[in-house]
Structure 1
Amino acid sequence: MDRDGNGGGDGAVIGSRIAAVRGALGFLTRLPVDHRDGDWEAFRSRPWTFPLVGLLAGALASIPLLATDALPAPTVAFAYVLAVYAVTGIHHLDGVADLGDALVVHGDVERRREVLKDTTTGVGALLAVALTVAGLALAGVSLAGLSPATAVGVAVAAEVGAKLGLAAMACFGRAAHEGMGRQFTAAATSGAFVVPAGLVLAAAAAIWPHPAAIAVCGGIVGVGLPWYWADRFLGGISGDIFGAANEIGRVAGAHAGVIAWTLL
């Protein structure tokens, strides 16, 4: 019996999928969702919820970009950054901060893991968060130079691409230790990546070479950067790496889309 079925028929399947979406919304956004027992477990085993929530969050966060023809670019960009963090929250930036400190520390794997878990904010954390927020703001300025439809398309695609990258981490990643990272990697199977990857990549292929299609790819690549580093220098991923990858993927996807629009 599959995870959705649980032997309870169509009603149980639908109920478990709704629970998974609620769990994903609770983890990935700040949207007011009525959480129930079992939502977190349902979400962890259903990675297709990552890009689905990315689509919703990206659409809501990109609303200020509809004003690209009416307002100055810096104003639109600032509103976009505010909207992103109003919708998705700032808790994922904690992963960026911890990753920043781990990046600059000298030592072996154990020392880097120790720094990653340390609640003290170092200069590496400050720089990493500053660069991430600045990168998003500068992407917003560039997006404000596009037509509203193109700007929204790129922003949404960047969010979806980043979330698909997180789904890949959950399905194929190796956790460094017990914690949130292992909760994802232990619950998600490699086969569960087929459906979300197929749908997202098929949609990107259908609009290729639209900048939004490039943004999806950029978001995935952006997630791959901290994932690769964590595998090499931490022995695997963790909850902090998931948070950092989410933020880096968004920024990389948005810039990739703008670059594509400039060059194509």
Structure 2
Amino acid sequence: MSFLRSLAVAFSLFSRIPVPTVAWEARNMRYVAACMPIVGVPLGALVGAWCVALAHAHAAPALIALGPTLIPVVFSGGIHLDGFADVVDAQSSCADQKRKREILKDPHIGAFAAIGVAAYLVALFAISSQIAFDARMGALLGLVYVVSRAATGFAVIAFPRSPEQGMLALEQDFASAASKPALAALFAAAALAAVALSPIAGALAIAASLALLIRTRRLAQKGFGGMSGDIAGFHLCRCELACITCIAFCQLAGVA
């Protein structure tokens, strides 16, 4: 029951799928981070199905690319993109750690955040439009949303956190000891499935996600004094873009 309550909390936080209301208390937060990859399963299925169905109907690449670009935003309510925008704003300020953390908490959007989000969405749209989708590519794309959330969930509970208290602090404080191995296992399972679908593209996407995990840890420590929920969203967005880029360029090179 504890796992099911944590799953409901995870879906209520990271998706717009209706779930029963569950109180945010210790016993219900034990597996929230570990449930993040599970939230990625229906999202990946939706995006993959959109791309494969429209490709089968011979739709224009631009219409197909709307799936990877907009479905994740609608599905999550923009929570991860909001973190991306906040971190772009804070990093662009070139301020000290304390000031950057203040910018993360500021509800207003700055010019650099608007530019960053626009550039991100345009890049994601353009790169996604280059992928020729069939059932195999649709499944590979769907796994991206599981991999990105498994990596992000691990960062949430394993990386040193920022001095500022927030949702990430609750997830760390209440996380079960089983969460880290569970996330590692889910990441490994998704990685193996990706490599099985496309050895080179899958391997490059997984390598990119691991490299970004290392970079995010360095960014969090050096720039903000530790991990935060906004940095987690920033990492997730970059991870998805990097993985989809690997798939697109491997296909263009004829090795996907």
Give the TM-score range, shorter chain. 0.7 to 0.9
Aligned pairs for 1:160-199 (under 5 A) are 160-176=146-162, 177-188=164-175, 191-199=178-186
CA distance, structure 2, for counterparts of residue 39 and residue 71 of structure 1? 47
CA distance, structure 1, for counterparts of residue 215 and residue 10 of structure 2? 23
Listed one character per residue, the Cα deviations across residues 122-160 of structure 1 (whole Å, up to 9, x for unaligned) are 2211122112212221232123xx232133123212111
Corresponding position: 1:153 with 2:143: no
The corresponding residue for 1:64 is 50
Q: Judging changes above 3 Å, is the alpha-carbon distance between structure 1 residues 91 and 169 closer, same or farther for their aligned structure 2 residues?
A: same
TM-score normalized with structure 1 length: 0.83
- Residue range with higher mean Cα deviation, 203-212 or 61-70: 203-212
Could you tell me the percent identity over the aligned residues? 23
Alpha-carbon offset, residue 226 of structure 1: 3.7
Structure 1, unaligned runs of 5 or more: 1-14
8 Å Cα contact 2:84-2:117 kept in structure 1: yes
CA distance, structure 2, for counterparts of residue 237 and residue 245 of structure 1? 10
Alpha-carbon offset, residue 80 of structure 1: 3.6
Corresponding position: 1:34 with 2:24: no
- Residue range with higher mean Cα deviation, 252-261 or 204-213: 204-213
The corresponding residue for 2:39 is 53
Which secondary structure state, in structure 1, belongs to the residue aligned with residue 130 of structure 2?
A: helix
TM-score normalized with structure 2 length: 0.85
The corresponding residue for 2:226 is 236
Alpha-carbon offset, residue 43 of structure 1: 4.1
Q: Judging changes above 3 Å, is the alpha-carbon distance between structure 1 residues 39 and 261 closer, same or farther for their aligned structure 2 residues?
A: farther
Alpha-carbon offset, residue 83 of structure 1: 2.1
Q: Judging changes above 3 Å, is the alpha-carbon distance between structure 1 residues 58 and 196 closer, same or farther for their aligned structure 2 residues?
A: same
CA distance, structure 1, for counterparts of residue 103 and residue 128 of structure 2? 32
| Corresponding residue pairs, total | 248
CA RMSD for the aligned pairs? Answer: 2.4
Aligned pairs for 1:15-164 (under 5 A) are 15-38=1-24, 42-66=28-52, 67-69=54-56, 70-143=58-131, 146-164=132-150
CA distance, structure 2, for counterparts of residue 196 and residue 181 of structure 1? 16
Q: Report which structure shows greater RCO (CA 8 Å, sep ≥6).
A: 2
CA distance, structure 2, for counterparts of residue 239 and residue 37 of structure 1? 19
Listed one character per residue, the Cα deviations across residues 157-178 of structure 1 (whole Å, up to 9, x for unaligned) are 2111110111211221111121
Q: Out of 225, 240, 245, which is 2:235 matched to?
A: 245
Aligned pairs for 1:4-15 (under 5 A) are 15=1
CA distance, structure 2, for counterparts of residue 189 and residue 19 of structure 1? 13
Listed one character per residue, the Cα deviations across residues 30-74 of structure 1 (whole Å, up to 9, x for unaligned) are 112222235885345343311111122211232220122411101
8 Å Cα contact 1:19-1:38 kept in structure 2: no
Aligned pairs for 1:201-240 (under 5 A) are 201-205=188-192, 207=196, 209=199, 211-240=201-230
8 Å Cα contact 2:92-2:112 kept in structure 1: yes
Q: Which amino acid aligns with 2:109?
A: T
Structure 2, unaligned runs of 5 or more: none
CA distance, structure 2, for counterparts of residue 55 and residue 221 of structure 1? 23
Listed one character per residue, the Cα deviations across residues 216-236 of structure 1 (whole Å, up to 9, x for unaligned) are 443444455444312111100
Listed one character per residue, the Cα deviations across residues 222-252 of structure 1 (whole Å, up to 9, x for unaligned) are 4554443121111001121122222222212
Which secondary structure state, in structure 2, belongs to the residue aligned with residue 68 of structure 1?
A: helix
